[in-house]
Amino acid sequence: MILIMGIAGSGKGTQGKLLADKYGYHLLSTGDLVRKYATEKQRERMLSGDLLADDEIIAMVDECLRSLPDDKEVIFDGFPRTIPQAQWLLDQVKAGRIDLKKTFHLIASREAVKDRLKYRARDDDVDHAIEQRFEEYAKSTAPILNWLKDQNVDVVEIKAEQSVEKVHQDIISNLK
Ligand code: AMP
């Protein structure tokens, strides 16, 4: 399993897809799962830029992992986003259900990604929801990176304001 972490607009989905296409890995995007399967209430949270509850997201991820062959390499885009989610994931690793190959942190400033998000124009790419996602990231998700390092997980930092192709190459060179 490969984790791709980073603020909204840092390129997690784009880079995850490039990697999945290149190596035949399965891209597990919790954002895509939410957009596909969310209840009306969950969709409201998503549109305002709030995170969904840990148990709801974990249930979606758990079900998705169950549907995949055991030996399928999985790239996580947008998960984990909180310490309890990260704890659950490491528990799965410890239980031998999945392995953790690499964690990438795509580093980009809020200013740099704002234009990308506006251009992408998803339903939740409006000013107040973008700001809320940045806040959620700072509060709930960013602390995971240090927490993972404390658990001896190697986190590779990638400069994500470079071109898509250059970021992709940087990721690949760290997978070899
Ligand atoms: P994304 O496509 O990764 O930007 O996710 C879009 C939205 O789905 C987020 O703003 C959250 O509302 C929800 N979401 C996606 N992944 C998670 C997660 N791991 N935990 C909680 N909420 C999530």
Please indicate whether residue 133, judged by its CB atom, sits closer than 6 Å to ligand 1.
yes
Q: Return the closest-CA partner of residue 108 out of 147, 142, 149.
A: 142
Residue 131 has pLDDT above 90, yes or no: yes
In the structure encoding, which two tokens stand for residue 142, read together?
């960013």
pLDDT score, position 118:
87
DSSP single-letter state for residue 7: S
Residue 115 has pLDDT above 90, yes or no: no
Residue 69 has pLDDT above 90, yes or no: yes
- The 8 Å CB, 24+ separation contacts for 131-135 are 131/49, 132/48, 132/49, 132/50, 133/7, 133/8, 133/49, 134/7, 134/8, 134/110, 135/49
Report residue 123's pLDDT band, with 50, 70 and 90 as the boundaries: very high
Please indicate whether residue 49, judged by its CB atom, sits closer than 6 Å to ligand 1.
yes
- More confident site: 119 or 168: 168
Residue 58 CA to residue 89 CA, distance in Å, equals 9
In the structure encoding, which two tokens stand for residue 46, read together?
């998503």
CA of 57 to the centre of ligand 1 (A): 9
Residue 165 CA to residue 153 CA, distance in Å, equals 26
Residue 144 CA to residue 167 CA, distance in Å, equals 22
Residue 15 CA to residue 42 CA, distance in Å, equals 26
